[in-house]
Chain A
Amino acid sequence: GAGVSQSPSNKVTEKGKDVELRCDPISGHTALYWYRQSLGQGLEFLIYFQGNSAPDKSGLPSDRFSAERTGGSVSTLTIQRTQQEDSAVYLCASSLGLGARTDTQYFGPGTRLTVL
């Protein structure tokens, strides 16, 4: 089956605009994760979903960030009033479940966001 897909692959936006990033996980994977990778830095965890539920949103950088997942499948990460510091590669991953033996995380190609 297909891997994790993300769209768009690249997004250039102006400061202050809203953007929406999409993630399609591997079919049947119940867990979904969002990370971001800023230039020259490691991966930063943002949020995870088990099914459609995100139990803890404290990893989101600010209240301009929100995420949702519908139908236990597609997830969207929305950034409102974008700032230049939001520029990064946003990576989505999915895993079969959350158990230690099933949580190999499979990553999408990422969305490169540039805020001018």
Chain B
Amino acid sequence: KQEVTQIPAALSVPEGENLVLNCSFTDSAIYNLQWFRQDPGKGLTSLLLIQSSQREQTSGRLNASLDKSSGRSTLYIAASQPGDSATYLCAVRPVWDSNYQLIWGAGTKLIIKP
């Protein structure tokens, strides 16, 4: 059974710092891994999708890496800003699942202090 874990559950850092969010998964048989952000009262916004054959994806100040063999992904945020404050979720799409569902971590709540 695929399980996704995110550590830490919460993180508070001063503005301008670089930071890393971690995601681990128990079964390496995945099609892809996605990082999302969730703002209070709003839906989920897809940030980056990494295919199983890829090692990383970049978008602006965000860089996500994937090490499928070790079951780990990291989301690197450079030069953090208060607007980055949100809950960050990672999710994997298992190969074995015929429902095309995503299996989700519980999220990391990020607070960037001005």
Contacts and interface: CB of A to CB of B under 8 A. Distances in A.
Size bracket of the A interface: 20 to 34
A42 interface: yes
A45 B99 contact: yes
A48 B100 contact: yes
Contacts of A101: 51
In which size bucket is the chain B interface? 20 to 34
Interface of B: 31-32, 34, 36, 41-46, 49, 51-52, 89, 91, 93, 98-107
Given A43-B91, A100-B93, A104-B49, 20 more contacts: A31-B100, A41-B106, A42-B105, A45-B99, A45-B101, A48-B99, A48-B100, A48-B101, A56-B98, A56-B99, A59-B99, A93-B44, A98-B100, A100-B51, A101-B51, A103-B31, A103-B32, A105-B34, A105-B102, A110-B43
8 contacts: A42-B106, A45-B102, A100-B31, A101-B51, A103-B32, A105-B102, A108-B43, A109-B43
